[in-house]
Chain A
Amino acid sequence: MFSYQKHLQYPVKIANPSPALAKIIITQLGGPHGEKGAATRYLSQRFSMPYNEVKAILTDIGTEELGHEEMISTIVHQLTKNMSIDQIKAEGYDAYFVDHTAGIYPQSASGSAFSAETLSSSGDVLADLHEDLAAEQKARLSYDNLLRLIDDNDVRDPIKFLREREIIHYQRFGEAMRKVQEQLDSKNFYAFNPAFDRK
């Protein structure tokens, strides 16, 4: 079950609208390294995970990612709430605007709609955890690239928080990987998938 807490994980309060920034930040909602993909990946993978502590980490990080979807959506909402038609035209937001106005739609910075093809749920314990470690690094690098492009401190502050979380999640998935490896068959390390093969 999931229940909603009526607060953001970290404060977002942006004074100045900027469709130009909204256009690139939306990628962390619906892009290839975004939070929707992260939540979907972990909350799907946990069902084939045989170890309780790793089910817990997938559930809890997946749940936190839902909170990060909300933060990114809030940033985009506040950046576009009071934008003018002149800003929409001058900052190249017109293509998004014509389909979504000032609404929130999960897409990448280059305009592709969110796709589950950006993630994997393989049913193989090692393959999934390697995917998760890579995913945290890809999200981290996207936040690094965003920080290279953003000057407004109101926007940088929550983005920096989200970047830090990718590093913590990477650490926790590394620990989960170690726990899994301790349980594997040393004679046939990769061919054995504890989620499927019976000894």
Chain B
Amino acid sequence: MTDREKMMKQVQMYHFAMVDASLFLDTHPTDKEALKYFGRIKEMSDKAHQDYQKKYGSLNIKNGERDGKWEWATSAFPWEVQE
């Protein structure tokens, strides 16, 4: 696994944990333990996003610009396998 793939896996893992927990919270909106878990995972997800974007480019339009360029449009798309 390349470094890029490893960092992308962190992004995917924490984002997925957030999605999964959010579905649980939709039907259990006052579950204290789930709320705490979501808060913890959200922090890790934010960090994984930041780390990836610093090295490999934008994951959303909020972070579309890097080094004076609109990297959102020029960086690789997720259905392509990166060598």
Contact = CB atoms under 8 A, between A and B. Distances in A.
B59 A5 contact: yes
Contacts of A7: 8, 11-12, 15, 59, 78
A61 B23 CA distance: 7
A112 B12 CA distance: 33
A3 B60 contact: yes
A30 to B, nearest CB: 17
Contacts of B24: 172
Given A11-B8, A13-B81, A168-B20, A6 B75 contact: yes
Interface residues of B, number: 26
A6 B20 contact: no
Could you say which interface size class chain A belongs to?
Answer: 20 to 34
A5 B27 contact: no
A175 B23 CA distance: 11
Interface string A167-186: 01100100110010000000
Given A9-B12, A64-B19, A172 B72 contact: no
Name the residue in A14, A64, A70, A176 with the highest tally of chain B Cβ atoms < 10 Å from its Cβ. A64
B27 A6 contact: no
B26 A56 contact: yes
Contact of A175 (B16, B27, B72, B75): B27
B40 interface: no
B60 A60 contact: no
Given A3-B61, A53-B29, A57-B27, A8 B22 contact: no
A16 to B, nearest CB: 12
A57 B25 CA distance: 9
Interface of A: 3-14, 53, 56-57, 60-61, 64, 70, 73-74, 77-78, 168-169, 172, 175-176, 179
